Amino acid sequence: MTFANPNIPEEIRRVASDGTALRYALMELGNRPEVIALGRGDPDLPTPPHILQAAQRALQDGQTAVTPIAGLPELREAIAHKLLTENQLPVSTDNVLVTTGGQEGLFLIMQALLNPGDTILVPDPRYTSYDEAIASAGAQMVMVPTDHNDAFNLNAAAIEASITPSTKALLIVTPSNPTGGIVTRERLEQIADVAIRHNLIVISDEIYEKFVFDGWQHVSIGSLPGMSARTITLNGFSKTYAMTGLRVGYIAAPTDFIEALARVKAYTTGAAATVSQRAALAAITGTDEALAEFIPIYEERRKAMKEGLAAMHLNYSDPRGAFFFWTNSTPTGIHATELSYLLLKEANVLIFPGTAFGENWGGYLRISILQSTDKIIEALARMRTVVDNYRLKGE
């Protein structure tokens, strides 16, 4: 990638075409107390007290022995109950595997599902950790285009047009990281029809399922007719309960695939940490009061972000879910990677460029709402100074 600004540092130039490495390079440069971080997707709200208390009790009671590879039986049972009652997925305990966070779950799925030479359809833009997981299995991605004017909703016709004889699976991410879009029920029904006709396995990443706004709804594709036997659902506790550091995720899938995942997990990381699983059990069986308190906080932050971006004359796709604004930065006239660096250097605001989520997105920024409203307002004011300055220079 060629940059117009000669002052872009070598550590950014070197990784500009590697989305994951680019995010980490920017985070390293932004690891300063004066920087307001609107980059990463880690919730900043406190972990609910009853979850912390459960972890403390587990330590105090000596509940530190290793669990079965697939996870604590009572946690798997609680997850299955949640999926059955909330998501209408026809699962039981044997259909659930507990993982060391969603990231591990993603890698386990790809290792157990894909073979060298297989291709998997992935929406563009995407969270680029998918790239490494797929490559580690020797498979290849085929990007499915999505569109700003369609709020980055996944289109069944675009999926079908991307299918080849080597296509084995389709990845769905709803709500989406990085766009904040969702896949609506109507589109999921159309996609399910395509998956059944072409015998595709569907991996449904639903880690942001609890954060859907403005009247939109989350739907699990595995709940649709004919889909339970061909759907692998990936989810976790990190985003919903603000417990990212405890590293607990889970996979729901047909029993034979869960057994295959468990064999891979046994030879790699082993069971998830027992203390973390006890905390997750408290989260999923306990009160939802904290989550009910989180939603209006995020709503307030979204309002502040909308107002601040409008003041800079930057538009964004409809942020229907998750924690992100997928913001069109082309009015600045500056490539998104350069703009992210300038915002970090001159405004002390850390934001990820669209190119951290796919090479086609040099005109977008992914901005998160995972700071207090006051900090978001301050960050937007700092950003406006830089954006206005460079816009004037361009004129």
Does some domain include residue 196? yes
Does some domain include residue 51? no
* CA gap 71, 94 in Å, rounded: 11
Q: What pLDDT is attached to residue 395? A: 42
* CA gap 190, 127 in Å, rounded: 24
| Rg of the chain taking only CA atoms, in angstroms | 21
378 and 268 part of one domain: no
With a cut of 60, say whether residue 122 has pLDDT above it.
yes
232 and 177 part of one domain: yes
237 and 222 part of one domain: yes
235 and 379 part of one domain: no
Which tens digits make up the pLDDT trace of 267-325?
Answer: 999 999 999 999 999 999 998 898 999 999 999 999 999 999 999 999 999 999 999 99
Is 234 in contact with 204 (CB distance < 8 Å)?
Answer: yes
| DSSP letters spanning 356-380 | GG-TT-TTEEEEE--S-HHHHHHHH
Does some domain include residue 295? yes
Does some domain include residue 3? no
Name the pLDDT band for 393 (thresholds 50, 70, 90). low
Q: What pLDDT is attached to residue 4? A: 60
164 and 306 part of one domain: no
* CA gap 228, 251 in Å, rounded: 13
Does some domain include residue 56? no
152 and 294 part of one domain: no
Is 122 in contact with 143 (CB distance < 8 Å)?
Answer: yes
pTM attached to this predicted model: 0.94
Q: Which of 268, 285, 302 is the last residue of a domain?
A: 285
* CA gap 346, 157 in Å, rounded: 43
User: How close are the terminal C-alpha atoms of the chain, in Å?
Assistant: 25
Does some domain include residue 190? yes
Does some domain include residue 324? yes
171 and 216 part of one domain: yes
Indicate which CATH number applies to the domain containing 275: 3.40.640.10
Q: What pLDDT is attached to residue 97? A: 98
Residue 90: asked if its preceding bond is cis (omega within 30°), the reply is no
269 and 303 part of one domain: no
Which tens digits make up the pLDDT trace of 52-62?
Answer: 999 999 999 99
Number of domains into which the chain is organized = 2
Domain range enclosing 387: 10-45+290-394
33 and 181 part of one domain: no
* CA gap 250, 262 in Å, rounded: 12
Which tens digits make up the pLDDT trace of 140-193?
Answer: 999 999 999 999 999 999 999 999 999 999 999 999 999 999 999 999 999 999
- Which residues does 55 contact at the CB level (< 8 Å), separation at least 6? 246, 275, 276, 278, 279, 282
Q: Which of 236, 260, 285 is the last residue of a domain?
A: 285
Question: 42: buried, middle or exposed (CB in 10 Å: 19+, 13-18, 0-12)?
Answer: middle
389 and 297 part of one domain: yes
* CA gap 21, 297 in Å, rounded: 31
* CA gap 315, 50 in Å, rounded: 40
With a cut of 80, say whether residue 390 has pLDDT above it.
no
With a cut of 90, say whether residue 8 has pLDDT above it.
no
